[in-house]
Every structure is written in C-alpha cells, then in structure tokens.
C-alpha cells in the first residue's frame, strides 16, 4: 500500500535517460509506477487526479520536442509467468515495465518459442501493443492474447483482447485520442493518454514453426546450411542482423524506424517502378503494395545527412539518430529531429508523391 502519495510524484525530472533518442528534456512532474496501487495513489491525490497524464514505457517510440507538461507515468511494473495453457498455446504474462528483449529471451529459455523474430526490439512489454511492434514477418498481434489496463479517469481495471486493441500496422487503439475519428463520424474509441497498460499476455504456439521468408534471414540459413532453424537459432540470427543494420540505442540514440513503410495502390507502384525500377516493394494480400520507406529516403540522398546533431543513420536511412552522447550532452534537440524528418518527408513527396508518416509519438 502506498501511504504517502506526495512522495510518488517527483518534480523537474530529467528525461534523457528515459528516452532512447537521449534527447534532453524534463518532466515537470513524474511518477514511477511499480504497481497498480501506485496509479490509484496518483488518482486519489487531489493535486494530480484530474491533471493530464502521459504514459511513458521504455521511451523507445517518442520524440521529445520540449519539456513534458502532463504528469509522466513511468511504468515499471515487473513480473513474468506462465498463467495458463490451452490445447494450442502457452499463455505467458509479463508486467508492462519488463524490458521487451529480456522477456523474449526468457520465453525461449522457458521453452515457449514464438517471439524470436521480434528479438532486440527496443522498449518495454507495455509499449509493445501500443504500436503493434513487428519484425521479420511476425507482428505482436500474431502472438497477442490479451492485456490488462487501468482507466486513468476512473481507476478501473479492464482487459482487452486483440480485436478490442484494433491493431493495425504499427498502430492500435492506444495511439489514438478519443476524438481522432470523430470527424469521420465514427464512434470515438481511442485510449491515448486515457489508460495505462499494466500487464500483457501472449499466446505462444505449442506447435511452433519458424516464420521464414525474409531475405536477411534466408541469407543466414544459407550461410549456416540450415533449412529448419530452431527458435534459438532464429533469435540469434535476428540479433546478428539487427546489430549489423540498426544502431544500439545504448550507444547511439534512436527510436528504430522513424517512418512507417507506406502503402500504395498497384497503379501508383507501377508508376514509380516506371521511373525508378530499383524501388523495393512488397505486394500485400489485399492487392495494395508496401514500399520500403528506407529505400525511398536513401534514393533521395539522405543517408548520412544531418540537421544539427540529428542525423540519418549511415547503414539504414529509415532510422534517424542523435549524433550527441547518450548522456544527452552535445545532442540533438527534438526540434532538430523534427526539422530533419520534415525535410525528408518533403523531398520524398516531391520525388515520389508519397507522404511518409512518422512511427514515433511526437510530444
């Protein structure tokens, strides 16, 4: 039980260690949330009950463009366990504050494969459903069972299944404000800043099969002469591929892919192929086509370029990096990152007629 709510909330807290871009910014006020009773203590405190709140997980999907005015809820709820079994799956639960990659490693050691393709994605378990993380042919929604969250107005705990999370490509109900669809006449259902995720449950298949078919992974299979890898082999290969292509946020500040891969119609794609035959694209089941945003940005000459201390990563143009130190010194501001992002969007639009959409949340 928390008996002194005032102690829970700290003022003027530096955030550079709490966002993987390592951008220097402060939270006007921050509460570390180790359990649901900590959320209830904040909600019971008249100073904070009705104040706007911002939920921060591992900070791996945010760009801080200034000090954060809403009360930051820094989620540190831990714990991981097998909670039940069905004929087909192990249902494994983890606290929202658990580190994603460590959780993935743990599931493999316990004998519950299924998350290996998503190894080494930065961030926390609680952030994983927010943007429906994914890599090498597996998305979170493929392995998701359900989650528990707390309503930040009423303090009530509720559970959501996959359909209720409204997963899309790097998207979910947690990325939308309740009013964001109102202009389309749709019922407003967004949970952005309205709920805090407490625990997430995953359904990990008992009849596990490797998910293959990605060029980088196929190459590893050929190099090793293996056609049916184990989950641990896949895990190791995914880690190796990511370490060669993507910057480690502990060394170079970044938030992974900065833009989503855009989807276009077959006609638009044919038009682009006509002008740029080397464009990288993937046909989708519904007839639309996904383009590799990294290729589009690279083709516009952005790889290695910078605005101030914000840069385009030399080995993967989809990733923007902070060229300063990880302690935040001499680093990029959120403004520099966004200026660079806008310049990239403009040049990709002018050359290809495609509007790139950022993946992270801009605060």
Q: Which residues bind ligand EPU (CB under 6 A)?
A: 135-136, 245-246, 256-257, 260-261, 280, 292, 294-295, 298, 303, 316-318, 359
Judge whether 310 and 322 are in contact, CB under 8 Å.
yes
- In this complex, which beta carbon is closest to ligand EPU, that of residue 88 or of residue 315? 315
CA distance 73 to 55: 5
Token pair listed for 274: 């006509």
Residues 6+ apart with CB under 8 A from 198: 36, 77, 95, 96, 126, 147, 148, 149, 150, 157
Active-site hit among 60, 146, 172, 257: 257
Which residues touch 216 (CB under 8 Å, ≥6 apart)? 136, 241, 245
Closest distance of CB 78 from ligand EPU, Å: 24
Strand pairing of 71-75 and 26-33? parallel
Give DSSP secondary structure letters for 4-47: -HHHHEEEEEE-GGGSTT----EEEEEEEESSHHHHHHHHH-TT
**For ligand EPU, which is the closer residue by CB, 136 or 235?**
136
- Cα-based distances in Å from 153 to 35, 112, 224, 293: 17, 36, 54, 38
CA dist 52 to 14, 298, 305, Å? 19, 39, 37
**Which member of 170, 199, 201, 242 is catalytic?**
170
Least distance from C-beta 101 to ligand EPU, angstroms?
13
Q: Which is nearer to ligand EPU, 105 or 146 (CB)?
A: 105
Helix (H) or strand (E) holding 200: strand 195-205
Q: How far is the CB of 100 from ligand EPU (least distance, A)?
A: 12
Residue, CB closest to ligand EPU: 256
Give whichever of 26 and 245 is closer to ligand EPU, judged by the CB atom: 245
Look at residues 251, 230, 277 and name the one whose alpha carbon lies nearest to residue 20.
Answer: 251
Closest CA to 29 of 2, 62, 51: 51
* Cβ 259 to ligand EPU shortest distance, Å: 6
Task: Give phi and psi for 293, each to the nearest 5.
Answer: -60, -35
Distance CA 192, CA 176 (A): 5
Which residue lies nearer to ligand EPU by CB, 80 or 245?
Answer: 245
Annotation says 257 is catalytic:
yes
Helix (H, G, I), strand (E, B) or coil at 120: coil
Smallest distance from ligand EPU to CB 314, Å: 9
- Compute the least distance from the CB of residue 41 to ligand EPU, in Å: 34
> Between 188 and 222, whose beta carbon lies closer to ligand EPU?
222
Which residues are annotated as catalytic? 170, 257, 359
């Amino acid at each position: 039980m928390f008996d002194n709510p005032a102690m829970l909330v700290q003022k003027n807290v530096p955030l550079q260690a709490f966002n993987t871009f390592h951008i220097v910014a402060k939270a006007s006020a921050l509460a570390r949330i180790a359990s649901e009773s900590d959320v209830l203590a904040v909600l019971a405190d008249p100073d904070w009950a009705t104040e706007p709140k911002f939920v921060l997980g591992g900070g791996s999907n945010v760009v801080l463009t200034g000090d954060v005015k809403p009360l930051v809820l820094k989620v540190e709820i831990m714990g991981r366990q097998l909670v039940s079994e069905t004929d087909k799956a192990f249902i494994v639960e983890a606290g929202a504050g658990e580190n994603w990659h460590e959780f993935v490693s743990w599931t493999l050691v316990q004998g519950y494969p299924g998350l290996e393709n998503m190894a080494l994605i930065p961030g926390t378990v609680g952030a994983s459903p927010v943007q429906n993380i994914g890599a090498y042919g597996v998305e979170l929604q493929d392995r998701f069972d359900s989650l528990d969250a707390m309503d930040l107005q009423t303090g009530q705990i509720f559970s959501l299944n996959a359909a209720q999370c409204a997963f899309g490509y790097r998207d979910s109900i947690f990325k939308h404000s309740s009013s964001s669809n109102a202009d389309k006449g749709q019922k407003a259902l967004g949970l952005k800043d309205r709920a805090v995720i407490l625990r997430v449950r995953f359904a990990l298949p008992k009849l596990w099969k490797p998910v293959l078919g990605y060029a980088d992974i196929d190459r590893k299979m050929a190099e090793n002469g293996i056609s049916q890898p184990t989950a641990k082999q896949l895990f190791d290969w995914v880690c190796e591929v990511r370490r060669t292509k993507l910057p480690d946020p502990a060394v170079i500040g970044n938030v992974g892919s900065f833009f989503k891969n855009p989807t276009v119609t077959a006609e638009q794609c044919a038009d682009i192929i006509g002008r740029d035959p080397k464009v990288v694209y993937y046909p989708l089941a519904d007839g639309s086509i996904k383009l590799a945003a990294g290729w589009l940005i690279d083709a516009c000459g952005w790889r290695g370029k910078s605005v101030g201390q914000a840069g385009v990563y030399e080995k993967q143009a989809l990733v923007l990096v902070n060229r300063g130190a990880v302690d935040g010194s001499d680093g990029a501001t959120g403004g520099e990152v966004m200026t660079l992002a806008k310049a990239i969007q403009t040049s990709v639009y002018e050359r290809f007629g495609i509007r790139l959409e950022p993946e992270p949340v801009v605060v």
